[in-house]
Amino acid sequence: MRVGLVLGVVVALLSTTAARADSPRDMMLELHGGAFTPGVDDGLGNGNTPYGDIFGTSMTLLSLHVDYEMWQGFGTLALGGGLGYGWVNGKALSSDGEKTDDDVGFNIVPLTISLVYRWDWLEVKYGVPFVPYFKAGLSGTIWWATDAKDDIANTRGPNGEERTGAGLTLGWHVAAGLQFLLDIFSPGMAQQFDEESGVNNSYIFVEVMHSDVDDFGSDSSIDLSADAVSFGLAFEF
């Protein structure tokens, strides 16, 4: 008796979600938050670890991604772009390698263009709340280092040449994630949210991304490659 009642509730939730999925869907907005450790030290290839010595930790990275859904059939194919901001603070090193009391910082603004595939067929047809997805595309990261005066710092390249501590580094990325549909917890509220704001579906998600950002293997570029995990909220409208 109790098993039948539970199954009935589950079926009702899933059927309600499936019915809602017929409303128009055109775009997806994702809000990401997570930690990011750029491969600055690995990219030097000379045993020096300036990033680790000065900052010693991952930076905080917040970002958003927006895409347009070009095709909807056995899943959804979309084209989108992302914009983020990451930062970390540390202490400057003296000439003998000891930490000082001077505050310094490292900042990045990652830009991405991605082709996205979401396998949402089970959600659309049957209300299954889990949606796996995949991304691949090009990356460009604006970066700058700040000194104790909060000005752009000077730095040295892999070959010892003096450089301004700012630039743009290009590369590519791939990512995989899993979305969980929040609408199943309150279909009525989700329907009202859709009618009032145009948001068709709301999700929480986790995403794993590998980015290779070193100007496609250039020895003279800073290496901002990383493997990173982010969590967030997504809205389909």
Q: What is the DSSP string of 122-178?
A: HHHHH---EEEEEEEEEEEEEEEEE-TTSSBPEEE-TTS-EEESEEEEEEEEEEEEE
pTM of whole model > 0.75?
yes
Q: Please give the domain boundaries of the chain with CATH numbers for all domains.
A: 2-236 (2.40.160.20)
Residues 41-88: tens digit of each pLDDT? 887 777 788 888 899 889 999 999 999 999 999 999 999 999 999 999
pLDDT of 98: 79
CA distances from 185 to 12, 31, 43, 105, 188 (A): 11, 21, 46, 42, 9
Q: Which helix (H) or strand (E) holds 6?
A: helix 2-20
Residues 135-185: tens digit of each pLDDT? 999 999 999 999 888 888 876 655 666 778 899 999 999 999 999 999 999
Q: Over range 201-218, report the average pLDDT.
A: 96
Give backbone dihedrals phi and psi of 127, rounded to 5 degrees, phi first. Answer: 80, 15
Place of tokens 């499936």: 18
CB 199 within 8 A of CB 28: no
CA distance 35 to 37: 7
